[in-house]
Amino acid sequence: MRRLFAVLACIVLLAGVSACARIPSDSQVGTITVDPESGAQTRVDAEGPKPGDGPDAIVRGFITAGASFNNNFSVARSFLTDSLAAEWNPTSSVKIVKREVSLDSVTTNIATDSQTVSFEIPVSSGLDERGVFHENEADTSATMEFHLRQVNGEWRISEAPDGLLVSRTNFDNMFRPLPLHFYTPDFNYLVPDLRWFLRTSSTATDMVRATLDGPASYLAGAVVSPIPDNTSLTPQSVTTHDGQADVGLSATGLDSKTRERIFTQLETTLLSLGSVTSLELQTPDASLTSGVPASTKTTTENIAVAISQDSLVLLSGNERKSIDKSPRMDGGKSPAVSMDGQSIAWLSKTNKEISFFDRENGSSNQILVGRNFVGPSFDRFGWVWTVDRDGSDLLAVRSSGELARIKLSFVNNKDVRAVRVSPDGTRIIVLSHSKDQSRMDVVGISRDGDNKPTKLTGDSTLKVATGFKKIEDVSWAGSQDLAMLAARTAEEPAQPYIQKVGGTAEALGTVSEGVSITSGGDTSSVRVGTRNGELFTYTSGSWQRLLDSDIRDPAYPG
């Protein structure tokens, strides 16, 4: 693989063992030094095998040495036979041990002939071969098995799963999340694709190579790259000096617009490193130091609506303002606002109808009838999305009644609770519930030339927030983050969190009796509505009450 990731594959646990030994603790391996500017981990001290080490000590040493990736994991390879050391691949995925689990508490099982060592350990999350982060179900464990033989009188590992098992502490020291960027099909916006990279001095090179490889599987077909297939780095690494990154690509025959789009794509990606402040792009045909305008933030109106006294209202600070010609809701709920703020859709009291209100001319009409819909969501092209709770098909409808029906295959036998389209229109969240467990999938959207949605894309969905037992509500908070009301156990009340797509969750404190959550263009505009009709906003690290009664279902555009 082109990028350095730590790995683990699933192995079958060996039966019939005769001895047990502890595997090492999750303490850091020696000294870890991180460059404050580049974020590069500059030194990790790990010890190689000692003369006379037994099979369990060799396996323990190998696992521990995986936290030292200097010289292509040379210390970890020293525990392997020469043939396995040449083949072992520490760059395909990661398994991360649960925080509450001490490796000291896990025992290895040693076969009677001392040639096989195995163990099982709970894991919380990990990375796939492309550095995409995923969380595991609550009871997930990894089983590992190692075969050993003696080489010149010393035990060495002759068979082992590719990759590394790491503690959360070591993972955080070794890896950092950084977004790649790909374009919306109309090239108006850049869509983040969060990946995790080793903290090395070659991270800029790894990021460009990852970009050349294309988007994560769940985004394939929803986003595009102007970089032609089979393009390579020439030279094979990115060099940086005085904040400038120099990138050379092999692609030839590109028109100026394509080259400029490539420049903007790579510049936006590399600027997230912090140590890069500018880019010079070289192709066989041209040298570029500037590109085309493209934003990572979709343009939306900074307004929010809600329902108060059975009417639609605008929310402005700690005030609610009536909307001219607003129709009576008749018990309606879950309003959604178009990106320009001029249209509002909502769900009927019976969950059987979606209605539409045009603020400009004051007209309202019913645009969709079904059995048991969830609340609507607008995309930036004016399509209103919903789904029957039984998860049959996604439905997208225009105010004119034009309908797109999209197969939803991954939520069979689940109760769908919410759908939310990303601000750039390339992804949709599907929140579902089954057997007392919530599930949240992010998947790409494919569209035709008129921006009509045609299907969901990618080989699979990206499951997010699987470490939470229940998720009550969710909203996009910009292009990379989700605001959600969630709890890690069934007994706890749902509380507000920010969940990164392809990353981890961050708690936002507590709000009593929260039932709905919404956010504008970023995490600074999160609002929570309560069961008692109160409205709270998250400001400077704490929750402030904006309104104390009769506010239901606040919603920013989307």
- Per-10-residue mean pLDDT for the chain, 558 residues long? 32 32 42 45 74 93 90 94 94 86 74 87 90 86 93 96 88 94 97 95 96 96 96 95 96 95 97 96 92 84 90 90 92 96 97 96 95 96 95 91 93 88 97 90 96 90 93 96 95 96 95 95 89 94 92 95
Pairing state between β 481-487 and 495-500: antiparallel
Instruction: Count CA within 13 A, CB hemisphere, residue 80.
Output: 24
Does residue 295 lie in a domain region? no
Does residue 87 lie in a domain region? yes
Of 162, 185, 217, the position where a domain reaches its end is: 162
Q: How many angstroms separate the CA atoms of 130 and 127, rounded? A: 7
Q: How many angstroms separate the CA atoms of 40 and 52, rounded? A: 35
Domain housing 527: 303-308+324-555
Q: For position 99, what pLDDT does the model report?
A: 82
Six token digits for residue 34: 């991180």
The three-class DSSP label of residue 473 is strand
Same domain, yes or no, for 364 and 444?
yes
Same domain, yes or no, for 385 and 513?
yes
Pairing state between β 311-316 and 107-110: unpaired
Does residue 297 lie in a domain region? no
Q: How many angstroms separate the CA atoms of 156 and 49, rounded? A: 9
Q: For position 43, what pLDDT does the model report?
A: 52
Six token digits for residue 41: 């981990």
Same domain, yes or no, for 351 and 280?
no
Q: For position 90, what pLDDT does the model report?
A: 86
Q: How many angstroms separate the CA atoms of 390 and 409, rounded? A: 11
Rg over CA atoms, the chain: 26
Torsion region of 341: left, alpha or beta (phi above 0 gives left; psi -120 to 50 gives alpha) = left
> Tell me, what DSSP letter sits at residue 554?
E
Same domain, yes or no, for 340 and 489?
yes
What CATH code is carried by the domain that includes residue 87? Answer: 3.10.450.50
Q: For position 36, what pLDDT does the model report?
A: 43
Report phi then psi at 34, rounded to 5: -120, 125
Does residue 345 lie in a domain region? yes
Residue 59, CA distances (Å) to 15, 55, 63, 119, 448 in order: 18, 6, 6, 10, 54
Same domain, yes or no, for 261 and 339?
no
Q: How many angstroms separate the CA atoms of 329 and 332, rounded? A: 5
What CATH code is carried by the domain that includes residue 470? Answer: 2.130.10.10
Of 162, 191, 221, the position where a domain reaches its end is: 162
Residue 103, CA distances (Å) to 46, 79, 92 in order: 17, 19, 23
Task: Residue 540: count other Cβ atoms within 10 Å of its Cβ.
Answer: 6
Place of tokens 């047990």: 20
Burial class (CB in 10 A: 0-12, 13-18, 19+), 147: middle
Q: What is the largest CA-CA distance in the chain?
A: 88
Q: For position 19, what pLDDT does the model report?
A: 42
Same domain, yes or no, for 89 and 197?
no
> Tell me, what DSSP letter sits at residue 506?
E
Q: How many domains does the chain have?
A: 3
Same domain, yes or no, for 73 and 136?
yes
Does residue 42 lie in a domain region? no
Same domain, yes or no, for 451 and 522?
yes
Of 260, 288, 316, the position where a domain reaches its end is: 288
Same domain, yes or no, for 457 and 511?
yes
The three-class DSSP label of residue 499 is strand
Six token digits for residue 163: 């990759």
- The closest of 149, 117, 134 to 23, measured between CA atoms, is 117
> Cα 327–329–335 angle (5° rounding)?
95
Does residue 27 lie in a domain region? no
Q: How many angstroms separate the CA atoms of 92 and 128, rounded? A: 6
Same domain, yes or no, for 387 and 270?
no
Same domain, yes or no, for 348 and 452?
yes
Amino acid at 140: T
Q: For position 135, what pLDDT does the model report?
A: 85
Same domain, yes or no, for 158 and 185?
no
